[in-house]
Structure 1
Amino acid sequence: MRPCSKTIRLFLILLLTMLAACSKPAPGPSQAAPAPTNATAEAPAPQSPAPTADIQAAPQSETTPKRTTETQEAPCLECDAVDPSQDRADCFKLQPGKTSKNKHGKTVTGRCQPQCVPYARCRSGIMTCRLGDTGPVEWFECARKNKATTLVPKAGSIMVIDVNTRRKMPTGHLGYVEEACPNADGTWSLRFSHTNFDRKCHLDLDAKVLFNPATMTATFLSGPWKTWAKDLKIRGFILR
């Protein structure tokens, strides 16, 4: 009987041991996991902080167009033209100079009409500074003293070309501004008419002229003077 009772006792001890092992609770979420034993184990990557309300909006791209004051206040480039009702194109007739013989028996030709000054007076109606046989520069200086000149071209004004002895203009030359158009680069495109430009009583109508107020020069882009009239010095413009 002892051997059996001893066996039974051992069996009961083994059974109780197994029951005790099964009754141990599983580790809960609050229990910390065992630290890794490997010294080379990497720490978990830190998480980026959540966005807060204080974060400012990202700046606009540099390619975003910006409105500037220059764009908003861009000047309107409009042409200033002579009113057709004020056109005096038919108030004169070209008359070649009369030929005659001088005291030495040589044939000479008198002035054709109108010269550049009478033509400009006729077209513009500006009759100021009538000083006898007034030359272009003389007329401009007289008008300047009377505050009737400008450095900015205007339709209906008279453009005065300065003295140019190389081109046989010892008293200057002038003509009538039919139209004045400002360009974006600060220059002006003019439509210009003048007479007796070749001292042969010819009339040049609607010549295209580029005027540069920075240098006070004019270049003819069309008409008989186109081939040589580059950067002619300009005194200014006579006004009514």
Structure 2
Amino acid sequence: MKRALVALVSARRIAWVLAVVLGLVLAGQGAPALAAKKGKKKVQDTGDPIDVSGGKHPCYNLSHGRLFHRCEPQSLPYGRCRTGNSCCRGNYELSPISWYKCEDQNGHVTGKPTAVSILILGDNSNHRMSTGHVFVVEKVKDLGGGQWELALSHTNYDRRCSIETNVHARYDEHRRLLTMETGHWSGWGRNLKALGFILK
């Protein structure tokens, strides 16, 4: 009786382990397709397409939980890929604000937008962005008087690693404020504090 009970418990444990392994295998097979669908659905068409490929490897390739259990690409790795900037790395990756401070110490920043550069937003705790945010500046148009029209791209603006390209914004060079005119943030993105622009 005792042996039969031990055998039954062992059989149940083996069955449970096999079920878990099978579930993980099936989830792994379905995850890329699901991630691709989610990524595709989130892309917003805000005008002319912008090439988001960088060299041989695409800069936007949605994946979930493969690195530190978070989706990729975050806004900072996406910006690095688009511009080819590999300066000021630390730990896995610095925060946007830390990246800007490091580049500032190296003399690689400016208050004037240029294409293709990196725009770093400062702390915006009201929208849970205490570490800042990264935009890639795709195009610039000088409106005069320190006012600029920018075409931007960025990822992870919704914490799901979604991507937006050709998002339009106004930038005040003197006050270093960014106002979003199109895209996901256009409803609330007024007078966002910008630290400046990182040059390659």
TM exceeds 0.5?
yes
Question: Match for 2:106: what amino acid?
Answer: N
| Preserved CA contact (<8 Å) 1:95 1:112 | yes
Name the CA distance, whole Å, in 1 between partners of 2:157 and 2:178. Answer: 15
| Preserved CA contact (<8 Å) 2:88 2:103 | yes
Name the CA distance, whole Å, in 1 between partners of 2:60 and 2:51. Answer: 19
RMSD of aligned residue pairs (Cα, Å): 2.2
| Corresponding position: 1:228 with 2:194 | no
When the two structures are superposed, what TM-score results if normalisation uses the length of structure 1?
0.58
| Preserved CA contact (<8 Å) 1:219 1:231 | yes
Q: Secondary structure at the match of 2:58?
A: coil
| Preserved CA contact (<8 Å) 2:52 2:60 | no
Question: Match for 2:65: what amino acid?
Answer: K
When the two structures are superposed, what TM-score results if normalisation uses the length of structure 2?
0.69
Please identify the structure whose Cα radius of gyration is greater. Answer: 1
Alignment of 1:135-214 (within 5 A): 135-214=95-174
Name the CA distance, whole Å, in 2 between partners of 1:92 and 1:210. Answer: 25
Displacement of 1:184? 2.8
What are the ranges of 5 or more consecutive residues in structure 2 without an aligned counterpart? 1-49
Q: Secondary structure at the match of 1:139?
A: helix
Tell me which residue corresponds to 1:118: 77
| Preserved CA contact (<8 Å) 1:96 1:200 | no
Tell me which residue corresponds to 2:20: none
Q: Secondary structure at the match of 2:78?
A: helix
Deviations 1:148-184 (A, max 9, x none): 0000000011000001111011110011000011003
Q: Secondary structure at the match of 2:185?
A: helix
Greater fraction helix: 2
Deviations 1:43-82 (A, max 9, x none): xxxxxxxxxxxxxxxxxxxxxxxxxxxxxxxxxxxxxxxx
What are the ranges of 5 or more consecutive residues in structure 1 without an aligned counterpart? 1-83, 100-108
Greater fraction strand: 2
Displacement of 1:87? 6.0
Question: Match for 1:183: what amino acid?
Answer: L
